[in-house]
Amino acid sequence: MKIGIIGLGLIGGSLGFDLKALNEHRIIGVSRRGSTCERAIQRGAVDEAYTDLGAIASADLIFICTPIGSIIPTLQQLTPQLPPTTIVTDVGSVKASIVYAAEQLWPNFVGGHPMAGTAENGIEAALKDLFVDRAYVITPTQATPPESVSILATIARSLKSNVHICSPENHDRAVAWISHLPVMVSASLISACLTESSENALTLAQTLASSGFRDTSRVGGGNPELGVMMARYNRDEVVRSLKTYQAELNTLTQLIEAENWPELEKRLQQTQQARPHFLQ
């Protein structure tokens, strides 16, 4: 298969590595900067790379791996150059706002979200085997051609990803809880610490911070652009989850103020029991 990848950064470059390693496909990359294209070829993430979208017009399957805000504008530029058989997919971390706009522009569009990543970005951050044992969510609508869904699922399984198929809305609701809300919670943890008025206490906290703080602050210390995109393009679900979280925090604050230790313990027992269900 001839596979096109637009946006040779962390996700696009990593997809290129693993698709190329299968020795079954020809991988053609397109990126904004010529230097990125050269580096992607040097690193072995693609067979060829160009800055012109026309270079992938003959691909059978195209992955759009640009930042979320550029996915629809890229598709708009791309579609006049494609035959109707070309399957176009994206890797954006939000789905409903992209998928419904994209399928208006290109009926053979299939939304996707490989749920793997790091805090780094750009072609230098691309990694081999990034998608192994990770979820690859595919979000068809009633209008999505089933055979295109099945081709994308086969490709995702060839990367050793675990394929999940669901509606764009369900995807966005679920990832708000486990991906987008944690970014906001973790970011507010860091900024709450920074409000400490005693310079001595703040310096001491920074010196003593260890694995607990590293775990809970990790996603809040990642790429700001990605956090803004999650909030902007999945706004309703992010606000809904944040408000629920705020209510939970208020309850915990009240229990502690009231010194209601049995109720606090009951709640912490419930969360201790529930956590493994999210980490199977």
Binding residues for ligand NAP (CB under 6 A): 6-12, 30-33, 36, 65-68, 70, 74, 91-93, 114, 117, 121-122, 125, 226
The whole-angstrom separation of Cα 164 and Cα 152 is 11
Return d(Cα 144, Cα 155) in angstroms, integer.
17
Amino acid at 244: T
Name the residue nearer to ligand NAP (CB basis): 105 or 194: 105
Q: How far is the CB of 225 from ligand NAP (least distance, A)?
A: 8
Q: State which residue, 15 or 149, has the beta carbon closest to ligand NAP.
A: 15
Residue 120 CB, shortest distance to ligand NAP, in Å, is 7
Q: How far is the CB of 56 from ligand NAP (least distance, A)?
A: 11
State the amino acid at position 52 in one-letter form: D
Nearer to ligand NAP, 35 or 251 (CB): 35
In the complex, what is the shortest distance from the CB of residue 122 to ligand NAP, in angstroms, rounded to a whole number?
5
Largest CA distance in the chain: 67
* CB closer to ligand NAP out of 79 and 202: 79
- Return the closest-CA partner of residue 90 out of 118, 70, 116, 120: 70
CA distances in angstroms from 61 to 5, 19, 154, 167, 213, listed in the order given: 9, 12, 12, 21, 42
Closest C-alpha to 36, from 65, 78, 70: 65
Q: Residue 9 CB, nearest distance to ligand NAP (Å)?
A: 2
DSSP letter (8 states) at residue 222 = S
Q: Which is nearer to ligand NAP, 182 or 196 (CB)?
A: 182
